[in-house]
Amino acid sequence: MLALPPGLDPDLLRSFVLIVEGGSFTRAAQAVGRTQSAVSMQIRRLEDMLGQPLLLRGTRGVEPTQHGLWLLERARRMLALNDEIHATFRQPEVAGAVRLGTPDDYAIRWLPGILARFAASHPAVQVEVICAPSNELVERLGEDELDLTLISEGNEPPGARVRWLWRGPLLWIGTEAAARRRPLPLALASSGCAWRQAAIGALDAADRPWRMTYTAASLSGSLAVALAGLAVTVAMPAPLPEGVSRLGAEEGLPPLPDFAIGLLRGPCSPVAEALAQHIEESFRLDLTIEPPLRA
């Protein structure tokens, strides 16, 4: 009789994914509530089981080997399926409607995977998605027009309890030709945007002259101007359309601060609470998000 291979423990795969995403055994241990030595033992068990080294310590922290990179993509899919099955059978039936706000910049980038899995595990819930700038979404949440919303750091109301989901660098995006113009032409959102304030603050601190060439309501509008070579904009780490690239010190641009994505809730119904927990879990597991990329 043919012997079956041993099954892969989801806990081992979860620790492996968290180590790769965070570049650190320490951060992974904190995320799973274990000691660093316990997480190290998990990785040794996984490597012994698969017969290949999966992680190496490099100049940028812990990095996956070629076998580790191959495993990473598949581990993410296995964990997503594992958690979907668990949620479907263990969570109580939730039904109703929930209103989710999100900045346009996040909607296409991250929401499709999150909402698809939520629909699979909560088929009786109807999600209404409203896209608007973070400052407007905060106002609409306060007026009970939303149940919960994603926001960019810098837009949270004083004293608000925000669940911070992700932190990463803000990047200059555009063409080298546009970046070398003086004053620097900018395509950014309206004056209430935290990204706009960060970009202008960095330029002023570096004494780099600038002028606001275009004001766009969304990142797609700013990228369109950048693609035309007419201005430089800012964006989060993400695949970029052909024709623009990340810019930095070589083009005379100052570094930009990191930013965070947060989840802000109103008075939560069971439906809204279920979606909030699902969003938090998706970000925690990095199921839809690439690791933060440094310029």
Q: What pLDDT, on a 0 to 100 scale, did the predictor assign at position 174? A: 95
Q: Domain containing 153: what range?
A: 91-168+259-285
Q: Which pLDDT tens digit goes with each residue over 78-131?
A: 888 887 777 666 665 677 899 999 988 787 777 888 888 888 878 888 999 998
Q: Is residue 217 part of a domain?
A: yes
Residue 176 binned pLDDT confidence (cut-offs 50, 70, 90): very high
**Section 178-195 average pLDDT:** 89
Q: What is the pLDDT of residue 82?
A: 82
Judgement on whether residues 131 and 31 belong to the same structural domain of the protein: no
| Predicted confidence (pLDDT) at residue 295 exceeds the cutoff of 50 | no
Q: Express as a percent the part of the chain with pLDDT over 90.
A: 39
Predicted pLDDT of residue 289: 43
Q: What is the total count of domains within the chain?
A: 3
Of the residues 58, 89, 120, the one at which a domain ends:
89
Q: For residue 49, is it within any domain?
A: yes
Do 126 and 234 fall within a single domain? no
Are 157 and 183 within one domain?
A: no
Report pLDDT digits (tens) over 31-88: 778 888 999 999 999 999 999 999 988 766 788 899 999 998 889 888 888 877 776 6
Please answer whether residues 105 and 236 qualify as being in contact, where contact means their C-beta atoms are separated by less than 8 angstroms: yes
Residue 137 forms part of a structural domain: yes
Residue 150 belongs to a domain: yes
CB atoms within 10 A of CB 18: 21
Strands 148-152 and 184-188, how do they pair? unpaired
Last residue of a domain, one of 59, 89, 119: 89
Q: What is the pLDDT of residue 287?
A: 43
Same domain, yes or no: 164 and 263: yes
pLDDT (mean) for 249-260: 91
| pLDDT attached to residue 192 | 73
Residue 294 included in any domain:
no
pLDDT computed for residue 31 by the predictor: 78
Task: Examine the domain organization and report whether 14 and 85 are in the same domain.
Answer: yes
How far apart (Å, rounded) are the C-alpha atoms in residues 22 and 24?
5
Hey, how many other C-beta atoms are within 10 angstroms of the C-beta on 46?
Answer: 22
Q: Which of 127, 140, 134 is nearest to 106 (CA)?
A: 134
Which of the listed residues 71, 89, 107 is the one where a domain comes to its end? 89
Decide if 3 is inside a domain. no
Whether residue 133 sits in one domain with residue 148: yes
113 and 59 share a domain?
Answer: no
Task: Label residue 4 by pLDDT band (50, 70, 90).
Answer: low
* Phi and psi, residue 54, nearest 5°: -115, -25
Q: What is the pTM of this model?
A: 0.62
Q: Which residues of 123-140 are buried (b: 16+ CB within 10 A; e: fewer)?
A: eebebeeebbbbbbbbeb
Q: Are 8 and 43 in contact (CB under 8 A)?
A: no
192-221 pLDDT per residue, tens = 788 898 999 999 999 999 999 999 877 788
Considering the domain architecture, whether residues 82 and 96 belong to the same structural domain is answered as no
* In a shared domain, residues 161 and 274: yes
The letter for the amino acid at 104 is: D
State percent of the chain over pLDDT 70.
Answer: 91
Residues making up the chain, counted from first to last: 295
- Residue 5: its pLDDT value, please? 61
Do 209 and 85 share a structural domain? no
> Which CATH number do you get for residue 70?
1.10.10.10
pLDDT at residue number 290: 42
pLDDT score at 3: 54
Do residues 161 and 267 share a domain?
A: yes
- What confidence score (pLDDT) does residue 44 get? 92
| Average pLDDT of every residue of the chain | 85
Residue 240 lies in a domain: yes
Q: What is the CATH number of the domain that holds 246?
A: 3.40.190.10
CA 283, 288, 292, 295 torsion-angle sign:
negative
For residue 202, being part of any structural domain is answered with: yes
56 and 23 in a common domain:
yes
Is there a contact between 89 and 52 (Cβ–Cβ < 8 Å)?
A: no
